Chain A
């Protein structure tokens, strides 16, 4: 087994990814493109929800994606998570080509991505703790870290033995965020993470985002109310009609 492997990326000389075993060495991470999309078209049923998106995101960035409803923000996040395969275009996420379902390592890629969508992806009939433990065990994270993640999201302990189906929308979203935080993904894809949250919870989410970015992860936040997240973001990207119409540092 090779311990140290230097592999030239697509453009030789521009980027070098230094790997120890499987994971990239963190000191070099900030130079690595985490998301690279060119002319990506994604169809929902037959509608081009993404109509040719170009986007380049480096490691450690916090990107705010804003735009009106139906601009394609959620589809963009789903696409980056490897859940929606592009119809055409080239797309690489965390070094994995997501345009083909035959690419080896797609499952591996998903394990490194945390997605909070409109749906919270929790099982209604399992309790908060059970949901977190299930996610942890599936993703091979020690499940004893579950209480810590719930503490981080300030979810009171009396709620943790309650089936998720009985939680309020805000509590549910916080549970979903805790499930993501527990897995410590390299790429966070958050769709309206502040939606339905009260002010203290929003602050916690903000802290979580900053924390993730400082620890080397990359965060992409989609929001139609831009004011709140804009302060955290290192870059704001505007989407209209399935395309990136403004990409300002």
Chain B
């Protein structure tokens, strides 16, 4: 009986998470912010890196994976800012809280929505680095796997820290201060993995996926565990 209830609770959690994710994606789709602002932003950063490295093709190709994931980190900051602003404007998250939804489900839902946006942006960025930096993708499965696992980690960490700064006046500046150092393993791991997939450095990219996965799982667990306290108090 207890197990039944536990299973029902789990089912409820996924259902609620889906509800929250669907809501966030619908809002994003409606405001066209991902396509209209975040994608151009990512493209702009890629172009700026091109200027900064003086249109030197060999350098750009060598640095492609690193530049890609630095851009992805910036995009995460922007996407998380928006995701958290959705909830704070007009105290809208009160609707979910007062509906009695488990905060853990809100966390999973919001992180999933951020992850979907990031994946869309990363797809466009991939086209960008192929066209602008002349990168060639040698292993599509490795690129896809890296994007999925690294994005999960970024979305989980970002959503947790986004909720943490949600009620704070200086949230625009404080989110990157908190997120970027913690996300260092993603930058390192995903860059190495991409180095392999793009053939720029001879390393074993697949070996890095375990580390990226560990990062994602760890931060998702911390998020589910502490989100309730953050929503209650902040």
Q: A residues bordering B, Cβ < 8 Å?
A: 81, 83, 85, 101, 107-111, 113-115, 117, 119-126, 130-131, 134-135, 137-139, 163, 179, 183
Contacts and interface: CB of A to CB of B under 8 A. Distances in A.
B36 to A, nearest CB: 13
Given A119-B90, A123-B23, A111 B232 contact: no
Interface centre among B26, B30, B98, B233 (most CB of A within 10 A): B98
Given A134-B95, A179-B95, A139 B100 contact: yes
Interface string B84-125: 001001111111111111100000000000000000000000
Nearest to B20: A138
Contacts of B92: 119, 121-124
A138 B16 CA distance: 7
B232 A121 contact: no
Given A101-B229, A117-B91, A111 B98 contact: yes
B94 A83 contact: yes
A122 B90 contact: yes
Q: Is chain A's binding surface mostly helix, strand, loop or mixed?
A: mixed
B19 interface: yes
Given A107-B100, A138-B19, A124 B89 contact: yes
Contacts of A130: 26
A38 to B, nearest CB: 22
B93 to A, nearest CB: 8
Interface of B: 16, 19, 23, 26-27, 30-31, 86, 89-102, 229, 232-233
Contact of B98 (A110, A126, A131, A163): A110
30 contacts: A81-B98, A83-B94, A83-B98, A85-B232, A107-B102, A110-B99, A111-B99, A111-B100, A113-B98, A115-B94, A119-B90, A121-B91, A121-B92, A121-B93, A121-B94, A121-B98, A122-B90, A123-B23, A123-B27, A124-B92, A125-B31, A126-B23, A130-B26, A131-B95, A134-B19, A135-B99, A137-B19, A138-B16, A138-B95, A183-B99
A97 B206 CA distance: 51
A134 B98 CA distance: 12
Contacts of B229: 101
Contacts of A110: 97-100
Given A101-B229, A119-B91, A134-B23, A125 B30 contact: yes
A83 B232 CA distance: 7
Contact of B99 (A81, A117, A125, A138): A138
A137 B89 CA distance: 21
A70 B77 CA distance: 37
Most buried by B among A110, A123, A183: A123
B105 to A, nearest CB: 10
Contacts of B98: 81, 83, 110-111, 113-115, 121, 139
Contacts of B31: 125
Contact of A108 (B96, B100, B233): B100
A184 B232 CA distance: 24
B149 to A, nearest CB: 30
A128 B95 CA distance: 14
Nearest to B103: A107
Contacts of B97: 83, 110
Contacts of B26: 125-126, 130
A54 B89 CA distance: 32
A188 B101 CA distance: 19
B79 to A, nearest CB: 15
A123 B101 CA distance: 16
Contacts of A125: 26-27, 30-31, 86
A107 B27 contact: no
